[in-house]
Amino acid sequence: MPAPSYLFSRDLRSSIRLNYQHLAIKQLYPYSLHPSIPTDATNLHVADIGAGTAIWSIEVARQRPSAQITGFDISGDQFPRPEWLPPNLRLETHDAFATFPERHHGRYDVVNVRFFVTLLASDEMVRTVVRNLTQLLRPGGYLQWQDANPETARAIASDNSKPKSATEKLAMLMPRTLWNQCYLLGYQEVQAYVAEADSSQDVKKEEMKKANKMIQDLEDEFRGGASMEVEYFCIISQKGT
């Protein structure tokens, strides 16, 4: 199955968003690996799926210098240069919607995946990703999945007398698992993608005009106390032996 279209960019702003997103989620889950996952195995192997800027992979590699960490992403555009990586971390490009090379099958004690839910537009996509990730695990290995339930996204406000219509629209359009500033950065990236995808210059200008108005409205509403609320989850599952 081919990967779905990636609506976000891979430039500096996008890297800032991903790193900010990592720091934000750490406020909810102040651990890299869930405490229920045993990590005292000799020669522990960990895979990070959708590694992005590799911030999570680097964190785990530094916390566990005896472990071997492999980060995968469909693109290496946001990977740090190899000389800046911990010696026990390797980064590779691979599409999680495609079967991994056989050399990786049954190799990993832990597979970590985060912020993937908005890519999963159908049950078939979910089954494909779960099957591919499960293949990476050795018998008894653990899958750790941190994400948000988009269906729970809603606009909230510290003062209900203040407007929050743009925030409510965003909750319906793009239920991302981000804090306010990340919502703005992500929305800008998506709108740039939509505008670029259309061949008509007039349509591009009109779409960007609408996007800029939406962004300004969101900034005003966020300053007035509006925000997004969404339920997060951390699922730990173990592969059978």
Q: Where are the domains of the chain?
A: 12-150+230-238, 151-229
Read off the pLDDT of residues 131-148 as tens digits, 9 standing for 90 and up: 999 999 999 999 999 988
Q: How far apart are CA 157 and CA 116, in angstroms?
A: 27
State which CATH number among 3.40.50.150, 3.30.590.10, 3.40.50.1980, 3.10.129.10 fits the domain covering 12-150+230-238.
3.40.50.150
Q: At 164, is the pLDDT very low, low, confident or very high (cuts 50, 70, 90)?
A: confident
CA 226 – CA 9 distance, rounded (Å)? 26
pLDDT band at 198 (very low <50, low <70, confident <90, very high): low
- The number of beta carbons lying within 10 Å of the beta carbon of residue 72 is 23
- pLDDT tens, position by position, 85-139: 999 999 999 999 999 999 999 999 999 999 888 778 778 988 999 999 999 999 9
Contacts of 207 (CB under 8 A, 6+ apart): 191, 194, 195, 198
On whether the CB atoms of residues 145 and 114 are closer than 8 A, the answer is yes
Write out the two tokens for 191. 């709108």
